[in-house]
């Protein structure tokens, strides 16, 4: 059974149908990359998986259980699926460590004392041990994005979603964030990435999906998709970005 299974997911904003029947299956420990032009619906799809946006039709199965059932309490499910945004979205009035501890304290009911050790370990694992007690505006973009990743990881999620997390960074900071993804990949985290980093997708993804106008037009292992795209639109897109 797939870890995550999307079946015929549709989503509209008013008249604008952004997801037009998306089928996607992600196995445990797999890394899937979503590529596609701006406006093709990558962010919307990720937000739907995390239940930040309710879907109109179809279903989303997590471990075989439908989490998109209308009326279901989304909070416990969101706690199992981490998401990291392009614009970091750290809480500016809290230090890095407080950002990370808030949800484990309030949602999982852990005490500050119990969290201190594990959180410190997390920061050190991603080379931020010295920055734990800094406020977001005292950190570089790359450091802020790594704190945002740590914040999501602190909830011990079963899946991580990443929405173009390097797009807002200066080029010299992209590498340190991609290194974090490599590390998570080697630890077997199940991940879905919306990304413009084609080289990175090619290097690490198990599967690449090309989104076009709200549909997955073509999907496959990176070697096949990048080297030998079947659809003319995929070919045109790849020609533009590569």
Ligand X SMILES: Nc1ncnc2c1ncn2[C@@H]1O[C@H](COP(=O)(O)OP(=O)(O)OP(=O)(O)O)[C@@H](O)[C@H]1O
The minimum distance between CB 16 and ligand X, in angstroms, equals: 6
Closest CA to 208 of 182, 186, 179, 238: 238
From CA 43, how far away is CA 162, in angstroms rounded? 9
**Residue 41 interacts with ligand X (CB under 6 A): yes or no:** yes
Question: What strands, in cross-sheet order, belong to the sheet with 16-26?
Answer: 16-26, 4-13, 57-62, 65-66
Integer angstrom CA distances of residue 151 from 77, 102, 208, 228, 238: 16, 9, 26, 38, 33
**Residue 42 interacts with another protein (CB under 8 A): yes or no:** no
Tell me whether residue 152 or residue 173 sits nearer to another protein (CB atom): 152
- Taking CB under 8 A as the rule, which mask of x and - marks residues 142-181 in contact with another protein? ---------xx--x--------------------------
Give the residue nearest to Mg ion (CB).
Answer: 43
From CA 163, how far away is CA 201, in angstroms rounded? 13
Identify what 79 binds: ligand X, Mg ion, another protein, none; CB under 5 to 8 Å per kind: another protein
The minimum distance between CB 36 and ligand X, in angstroms, equals: 6
- Segment contacting ligand X by CB under 6 A, of 41-49, 66-74, 132-140, 171-179: 41-49
Considering only 43, 50, 145, 195, the residue that binds another protein (CB under 8 A) is 50
**Residue 92 interacts with another protein (CB under 8 A): yes or no:** yes
Q: In this structure, are residues 217 and 201 in contact, taking their beta carbons and an 8 Å threshold?
A: no
Q: In this structure, are residues 208 and 35 in contact, taking their beta carbons and an 8 Å threshold?
A: yes
**Residue 130 interacts with ligand X (CB under 6 A): yes or no:** no
From CA 195, how far away is CA 211, in angstroms rounded? 11
In 92-231, where does DSSP find H-type helix?
A: 96-106, 112-125, 141-153, 171-186, 198-204, 222-227
Tell me whether residue 43 or residue 166 sits nearer to Mg ion (CB atom): 43
Site residues (vs Mg ion, CB under 5 A):
43
Site residues (vs another protein, CB under 8 A):
47, 50, 52, 74-76, 78-79, 82-83, 85, 87, 89-93, 102-103, 106-107, 151-152, 155
């Amino acid at each position: 059974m797939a870890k995550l299974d999307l079946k015929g997911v549709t989503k509209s904003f008013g008249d604008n149908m952004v997801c037009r029947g998306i089928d996607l299956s992600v196995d445990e420990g797999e890394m899937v990359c979503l590529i596609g032009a701006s406006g093709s619906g990558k962010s919307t799809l990720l937000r739907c998986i995390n239940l930040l946006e309710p879907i109109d039709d179809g279903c989303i199965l997590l471990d075989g259980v439908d989490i998109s059932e209308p009326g279901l309490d989304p909070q416990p499910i969101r706690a199992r699926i981490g998401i990291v945004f392009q614009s970091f979205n750290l809480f500016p009035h809290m230090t890095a460590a407080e950002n990370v501890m808030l949800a484990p304290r309030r949602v999982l009911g852990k005490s500050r004392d119990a969290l201190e050790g594990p959180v410190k370990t997390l920061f050190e694992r991603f080379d931020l041990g010295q920055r734990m007690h800094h406020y977001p505006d005292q950190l570089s973009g790359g450091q802020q994005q790594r704190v945002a990743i740590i914040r999501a990881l602190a909830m011990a999620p079963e899946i991580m979603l990443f929405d173009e997390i390097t797009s807002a960074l200066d080029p010299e900071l992209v590498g340190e964030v991609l290194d974090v993804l490599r590390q998570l990949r080697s630890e077997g985290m199940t991940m879905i990435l919306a990304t413009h980093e084609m080289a990175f997708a090619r290097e690490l993804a198990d599967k690449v999906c090309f989104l076009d106008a709200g549909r997955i037009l073509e999907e496959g292992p990176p070697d096949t998709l990048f080297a030998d795209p079947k659809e003319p639109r995929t070919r045109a897109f790849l020609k533009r970005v590569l």
